[in-house]
Structure 1
């Protein structure tokens, strides 16, 4: 007789809802970055976004501490170093590379490139987290890379832009390594504390752009500044809290697979809000990327043995 523990509906529904919120907010971030990027350069936009998120998360952490009548549980030693490095990488370096990529590419094309990250997460999770390393992952990687090659020769302007593609791929690598590292750290730090500390670390990493942020806030139109605030409060603070909650309750590879929907949402939003649509060749390359990610990470359907 085989006895299999079945998770409750609430245990499945909670992470699924959190992942859905993250996907929608992260998709909107690509469009927001593209819009605000006309007035805020890559580093300035990253700092403004992190300042807004850090303030919001500090308030949330403070309210929780007041309610629980105790100070936040700050990790120490190697765990503390890991959280700070993770924050500087994802909230700092990832955002700068993403922002810079969108100065060369439209939002949809950038999202298609960054969407190869789940393949990298699956590889890293298999190597470092013991989540398995199926053979079909190699096939998926090959298909996704073929898609990247196609995107490389087509941007929104129809010209090859190697710089934008490389920056988009750098963002994907930072995303994948950060997601994998976060999974390991969440066993030692709760999601709220880790997100808060990581965001503060990302703010510190982008402080060299503080003078240009002051200038940009004074000169940019209010709509651009409000977009920066939106990016900090929702795609950063809210989305990363939801991501951390979901990641602590599911595998890194499976959660990363939920981001398949991001490029499609980004293309739709950028068409509606920015009147931008990737050229057909870029969309074809993006379809190859998504197909490769699906081949590499989606679980196969297996015949099970009914419990007796």
Structure 2
């Protein structure tokens, strides 16, 4: 008999909807804001909301010795990720961007291999090769030809940056907890992005109410609530369970972009997306097999 954990299921729904909607929200926000101002304002709104959360929960402050690492993670996981993604979406559709970001398991597997000696079986490399074919098709469908256009390249950089954040944060998650550590890194990223604060007031005054609403939405829901939901899933069921949400996010992103922005993906983008997700799924299957083998070896 299948036992449904309602809280875990609800958290998955929140992650899929809010992260899926982020790509359309960015495209809409870019109609009134530059990529760097959109990223800064989004993080600033999220940071303010997190201050209230920190006060209400009496969140502890991080140790001074951990601040350099926290700032590095904030820079990579939020400042670089969100800014590169925003610049990339100037030329790449919301749906295609979500597919490219979904390649993060490829980078996570490669980083685990390079830095932690984790095994990557044939499924991983086969899946990575298939995903590269899909990425080139998405690039072509986005107008970049069969090379990697600048928009596609920037979104892949965003995916790599986010992957580094997820791979190396484990010790600090264990030390501080997922929610406090996420808050620390978002605050750190906001400080970095404040370098682009100049001219923001003029953009806010000139932007349409819709673009400003999209930015506020991005700051509160995809940036804060979705990260809290994924942290809850990770804490309750592990990283593998949390990763399951990522495979449905592109589907939600395509549907939301169609309803919100009227974006209709090209056939080549859809084909490339299916191929990419097949490749990424193979890498996930490889990771699951490796985990099961390691567990069997420990038991033996």
What TM-score do the two structures reach when normalised by structure 2? 0.87
Residue from 40, 43, 51 that aligns with 1:47 = 40
Superposed displacement of residue 251, structure 1: 4.5
Superposed displacement of residue 217, structure 1: 0.9
Who is 2:221 aligned against?
A: 234
- Please tell me whether the aligned partners of residues 254 and 297 of structure 1 are also in contact (alpha carbons under 8 angstroms): no
Who is 1:72 aligned against?
A: 60
Superposed displacement of residue 253, structure 1: 5.1
Q: Give the distance between the partners of 1:204 and 1:19, measured in 2 at CA.
A: 30
Q: Which runs of 5+ in 1 are unaligned?
A: 1-8, 66-70
Give deviations 1:161-181, integer Å, cap 9, x for gaps.
Answer: 711110111111112111112
Superposed displacement of residue 185, structure 1: 2.0
Residue from 193, 208, 212 that aligns with 2:199 = 212
Who is 1:4 aligned against?
A: none
Give deviations 1:231-281, integer Å, cap 9, x for gaps.
Answer: 001100111122223334455455334301111111111111111122111
Aligned runs of 1:257-268 on 2, under 5 Å?
257-268=244-255
Residue from 8, 28, 53 that aligns with 1:35 = 28
Superposed displacement of residue 48, structure 1: 0.5
Q: Secondary structure at the match of 1:72?
A: coil
Judged with a 3 Å threshold, the aligned counterparts in structure 2 of structure 1 residues 225 and 101 are, in CA distance, closer, same or farther, namely: same
Judged with a 3 Å threshold, the aligned counterparts in structure 2 of structure 1 residues 76 and 249 are, in CA distance, closer, same or farther, namely: farther
- Please tell me whether the aligned partners of residues 233 and 241 of structure 2 are also in contact (alpha carbons under 8 angstroms): no
What TM-score do the two structures reach when normalised by structure 1? 0.85
Judged with a 3 Å threshold, the aligned counterparts in structure 2 of structure 1 residues 184 and 141 are, in CA distance, closer, same or farther, namely: farther
Aligned runs of 1:44-123 on 2, under 5 Å?
44-65=37-58, 72-77=60-65, 79-123=66-110
Q: Which moved more, 1:159-168 or 1:241-250?
A: 241-250
Q: Which runs of 5+ in 2 are unaligned?
A: none
Who is 1:203 aligned against?
A: 190
Q: Secondary structure at the match of 2:199?
A: helix
Q: Secondary structure at the match of 2:189?
A: helix
RMSD of the TM alignment (CA)?
2.6
Judged with a 3 Å threshold, the aligned counterparts in structure 2 of structure 1 residues 270 and 243 are, in CA distance, closer, same or farther, namely: same
Judged with a 3 Å threshold, the aligned counterparts in structure 2 of structure 1 residues 248 and 265 are, in CA distance, closer, same or farther, namely: same
Superposed displacement of residue 91, structure 1: 1.5
- Please tell me whether the aligned partners of residues 104 and 163 of structure 2 are also in contact (alpha carbons under 8 angstroms): yes
Say how many residue pairs are matched: 288
- Please tell me whether the aligned partners of residues 234 and 241 of structure 2 are also in contact (alpha carbons under 8 angstroms): no
Superposed displacement of residue 58, structure 1: 0.6
Q: Give the distance between the partners of 1:138 and 1:253, measured in 2 at CA.
A: 19
